[in-house]
Chains A and B, each alone.
Chain A
């Protein structure tokens, strides 16, 4: 048991009560005085030259206040990665996917704005389409962007160790492939934006974003504004999972309209626009060849990957690196070769989504390990236990694991799910169609480098003691998008200052408050948590110094516990300070009556001595990673790891899969909040299960999404989901606050392969194309029956 009072507990989230009574304010819940409404004209064609855009009719519609196109917005390129700026606010020469933005309108109400958008006349010259990612690089394919030769927007070639040596050492070598479909983030809150400009030219934008800081930079750059004149505020956000991590055309367009009209402008995506804007999971095509030595240790991995990323780069350059780098762990693997290509096609743009880049690669590798274990006649979990890394090891691509509970996690799920007994029952007492499968995962705990090249601090936190005494206000640019980072900040501050959680207020998600790179790469607990701890310690030191000065005792003899100043040495008579406080508060009804000096008194006295008491904390990772090209992607101050066992029942006639139970274990280093760690794990299980079994964006031959809604794009419902058992492993990460590291994304890693391995265990068939729908299973079972005569 820990000595912590607040940390490592199940404290309710600080925002939960407001959310439970409908008081939490999301962007679409807001209005501003005299506000206009925006609508965007999306391209109806997937690939076409723009010959002419005629906005004259739209401009004449009563109630329309501004119509903007590339003529107003300019054609300076922007994007996510400075190495691949390939988007403009509006299309000017051509459109590249159905949904690409051509113009925007601000009007008195949303209906007028939509009418105006519909009356914009665009003359197109249709171009041949590139829809098949696997053929995008072929000779003679049309090019989407002049600068992307053969439609390749990024490529990676890595060779670590000696795979030929690995091949020679192998007694079993297998080659397997797996592909997936593009997916949607399917967060519940569609993106919403409000922007306004004050009379001094200060632009404020409220947006349902994951990364206010990056959005602020992009707005300033693309709209050519001084960056200090741009403020981005993130109200409550209804989930992000990655797609809300970059600046969108809609954000830029709404700001531009606010600048043009001088009035607040609002826009909320409908659900179809969420799908069109996408920036969600890429389509992956992986082929891997790997080998096992006689003893079951992994000798090498040769990995080829093709990513279909849709029309623009977005996060794709990081995605293609992550797809390779994160196979460096959690197993000892000295020889690894990776060749990855990220291509552009005439489809909505893919970006980051939970488990960025690494999810399908992980799925295939874990399936391949199971297949080799079977060939070797070894239990799949035993095989993994033979290979897992331990704390203090470094991967072949120079990722150092400073804490690593992989072995503990794997043993925990094995034992909790009664793995050995259930595996042994196969073909005996176990009913036909039942199966059980396992897998592991590995993920960063915060990207080691910011997206733009800089030695910037990744985050800062400012903690101010109430001048009136009593509480503290934590200010942070971190983005709580539902994952609970505000609660993490409150808990750390309360713990450090010896205060009840109620006396800590958190304001966050605003570029005015502090620097923070935002909610992505599972970075907030480790990074912003560290800065928050340091800010609280700074505050504590200042308060205790002030009190010690008044009492003429050494500051190190004082501490704060349970909201009171305590003396670690001889008892101290604080009555002079109390008298001073009481004199100030004549007539107040909540005066201190404790024999000890309260934090309320002490913090007021400290203010009287020092003026406003502010503590600050900053965090940036040390230099990480190797010197090879692309070594920065995949680096992290710490790595999370996870293991999972899935149990399924497959209807051997129809192919229908029921997931009966998922048991997952995740090494989060140290659980700041036990309930929230479990919540991240369970949410990951749900998203992974959806990706394994049902989620896919479907396109027609014109590049149009056929299922841009939450009825036909299926995500798991409460009836699809089984009981989810979340086991927390705590390995105490030396680089994380109190030993904490990530859970938000790593926990998704083993989900897909554990289900796939369970389906194989149940049916004897392997499906190499995700999602594993009943049709695919039924077809594979039919083929298997035929081949068996």
Chain B
């Protein structure tokens, strides 16, 4: 039996009826239509579906939609302002952190949260923060460098 929930996604308030077993990932991708968030495994192994729920990086494939009742959810689509990429996104683009791009939304959300609570991360801080986000293309080198550059840009 569906239940009515309300939540905000990227500052937009949504009210919708969802099956209790529907995941937050399914709600975001299929009900709302924000397909930037990716499903790489569906069981919390790859980090591709990472979104921020009340500011905390969360595997949206492991969270039920009804658990997000009243929460503020941020997805990759919420990072740019009026189509202008933010500094972290620009750094990913400029520094070659994006190849196939499938891990990119999750990587961006995890590192967004990192830079919010730690504006001056060390390389080790960055590697620890993104260690739950798998990438098969880059060897992580340019992702780490992009996050470092974004943090330096933030501090200028």
Q: Which residues of A approach B to under 8 Å, CB–CB?
A: 10, 12-13, 15-17, 19-26, 28-29, 185-190, 236-239, 241, 268, 270-271, 481-484, 675-676, 678-679, 682-687, 709-711, 715-719, 721, 723-724, 726
Instruction: Check A482–B99 contact: CB distance below 8 A.
Output: yes
Stretch with Cβ within 8 A of A (4 or more), from B1-9, B37-45, B52-60, B64-72:
B37-45
The binding surface of chain B is classed by DSSP as loop
A685 to B137, CA, bound (A): 10
Instruction: Check B89–A719 contact: CB distance below 8 A.
Output: no
How near does chain B come to A683, taking the closest CB pair, in angstroms?
5
Instruction: Check B144–A718 contact: CB distance below 8 A.
Output: yes
| Seed contacts A188-B100, A271-B46; 15 additional CB < 8 Å A-B pairs | A15-B98, A20-B93, A21-B85, A28-B39, A187-B100, A188-B40, A188-B102, A188-B137, A239-B100, A482-B99, A675-B95, A675-B96, A682-B142, A724-B141, A726-B141
Kindly list chain A residues whose C-beta atoms are within 8 Å of the C-beta of B45.
Answer: 271, 709-711
Of all chain B residues, the one with the shortest Cβ separation from A19 is B101
Kindly list chain B residues whose C-beta atoms are within 8 Å of the C-beta of A238.
Answer: 38, 40, 100-102
Of all chain A residues, the one with the shortest Cβ separation from B76 is A22
A238-B38, A271-B45, A683-B136 given; A678·B96 CB < 8 A: yes
A22-B35, A271-B43, A682-B138 given; A482·B96 CB < 8 A: no
A269 to B88, CA, bound (A): 31
Kindly list chain B residues whose C-beta atoms are within 8 Å of the C-beta of A16.
Answer: 92-93, 98, 101
How near does chain A come to B139, taking the closest CB pair, in angstroms?
4
A241 to B102, CA, bound (A): 14
Instruction: Check B130–A189 contact: CB distance below 8 A.
Output: no
A719 to B47, CA, bound (A): 15
Instruction: Check B139–A682 contact: CB distance below 8 A.
Output: yes
Which of A271, A687, A717, A726 counts the most chain B CB atoms within 10 A?
Answer: A717
Instruction: Check A719–B99 contact: CB distance below 8 A.
Output: no
A188-B134, A241-B136 given; A20·B108 CB < 8 A: yes
> A-B pairs with the 4 shortest C-beta distances?
A22-B36, A482-B100, A238-B102, A19-B101
A301 to B126, CA, bound (A): 46
Kindly list chain A residues whose C-beta atoms are within 8 Å of the C-beta of B101.
Answer: 15-16, 19-20, 24, 236, 238, 482
Kindly list chain A residues whose C-beta atoms are within 8 Å of the C-beta of B15.
Answer: none
A20-B85, A188-B48 given; A679·B102 CB < 8 A: no
A221 to B44, CA, bound (A): 39
Instruction: Check B139–A686 contact: CB distance below 8 A.
Output: yes
Instruction: Check A17–B85 contact: CB distance below 8 A.
Output: yes
Instruction: Check B89–A679 contact: CB distance below 8 A.
Output: no
Chain B residues 106-156 with CB under 8 Å of chain A are 108, 126-128, 130-144
How near does chain B come to A409, taking the closest CB pair, in angstroms?
18
Kindly list chain A residues whose C-beta atoms are within 8 Å of the C-beta of B94.
Answer: 12
B80 interface residue per 8 A CB criterion = yes
Instruction: Check A20–B104 contact: CB distance below 8 A.
Output: yes
A21 to B84, CA, bound (A): 9
A538 to B66, CA, bound (A): 59
A686 to B132, CA, bound (A): 16
Instruction: Check B136–A239 contact: CB distance below 8 A.
Output: yes
Kindly list chain A residues whose C-beta atoms are within 8 Å of the C-beta of B48.
Answer: 188
Kindly list chain B residues whose C-beta atoms are within 8 Å of the C-beta of A719.
Answer: 127-128, 131
How near does chain A come to B14, taking the closest CB pair, in angstroms?
17
Kindly list chain A residues whose C-beta atoms are within 8 Å of the C-beta of B139.
Answer: 682-686, 716, 721, 724
Kindly list chain A residues whose C-beta atoms are within 8 Å of the C-beta of B142.
Answer: 675, 678-679, 682
Instruction: Check B134–A676 contact: CB distance below 8 A.
Output: no
A572 to B121, CA, bound (A): 58
Kindly list chain A residues whose C-beta atoms are within 8 Å of the C-beta of B93.
Answer: 12-13, 16-17, 20
A22-B34, A22-B105, A679-B96 given; A715·B136 CB < 8 A: yes
Q: Which of B89, B127, B135 is A20 in contact with, Cβ under 8 Å?
A: B89
Instruction: Check A188–B98 contact: CB distance below 8 A.
Output: no
B31 interface residue per 8 A CB criterion = no
Q: Which of B35, B37, B131, B134 is A25 in contact with, Cβ under 8 Å?
A: B35
B103 interface residue per 8 A CB criterion = yes
Instruction: Check A484–B134 contact: CB distance below 8 A.
Output: no
Kindly list chain B residues whose C-beta atoms are within 8 Å of the C-beta of A10.
Answer: 96
Q: Which of A19, A188, A678 is B136 in contact with, Cβ under 8 Å?
A: A188
A675 to B35, CA, bound (A): 28
Of all chain A residues, the one with the shortest Cβ separation from B39 is A28
Instruction: Check B35–A29 contact: CB distance below 8 A.
Output: yes
How near does chain A come to B94, taking the closest CB pair, in angstroms?
6
A25-B35, A188-B135, A683-B99 given; A723·B42 CB < 8 A: no
Instruction: Check B136–A270 contact: CB distance below 8 A.
Output: no
Instruction: Check B36–A23 contact: CB distance below 8 A.
Output: yes
Q: Which of B38, B89, B95, B96 is A189 in contact with, Cβ under 8 Å?
A: B38
How near does chain A come to B84, taking the closest CB pair, in angstroms?
10
How near does chain A come to B71, taking the closest CB pair, in angstroms?
19
A675 to B85, CA, bound (A): 20
How near does chain B come to A668, taking the closest CB pair, in angstroms?
15
Q: Which of A271, A683, A718 is B137 in contact with, Cβ under 8 Å?
A: A683
Kindly list chain B residues whose C-beta atoms are within 8 Å of the C-beta of A679.
Answer: 96, 99, 137-138, 142
How near does chain B come to A9, taking the closest CB pair, in angstroms?
12
Kindly list chain B residues whose C-beta atoms are within 8 Å of the C-beta of A685.
Answer: 139
Instruction: Check A715–B102 contact: CB distance below 8 A.
Output: no
Instruction: Check A21–B138 contact: CB distance below 8 A.
Output: no
B79 interface residue per 8 A CB criterion = yes
B23 interface residue per 8 A CB criterion = no
A562 to B45, CA, bound (A): 48
17 A-B pairs whose Cβ atoms sit less than 8 Å apart in the complex: A15-B98, A17-B85, A20-B76, A20-B89, A20-B98, A21-B36, A22-B76, A22-B77, A22-B105, A188-B40, A238-B38, A238-B100, A271-B41, A679-B138, A685-B139, A718-B131, A718-B140
B75 interface residue per 8 A CB criterion = yes
Instruction: Check B140–A721 contact: CB distance below 8 A.
Output: yes
Of all chain A residues, the one with the shortest Cβ separation from B101 is A19
Instruction: Check A188–B131 contact: CB distance below 8 A.
Output: no
A16 to B104, CA, bound (A): 10
A683 to B42, CA, bound (A): 24
Of all chain A residues, the one with the shortest Cβ separation from B108 is A20
Instruction: Check A270–B98 contact: CB distance below 8 A.
Output: no
A22-B35, A709-B45 given; A189·B100 CB < 8 A: yes
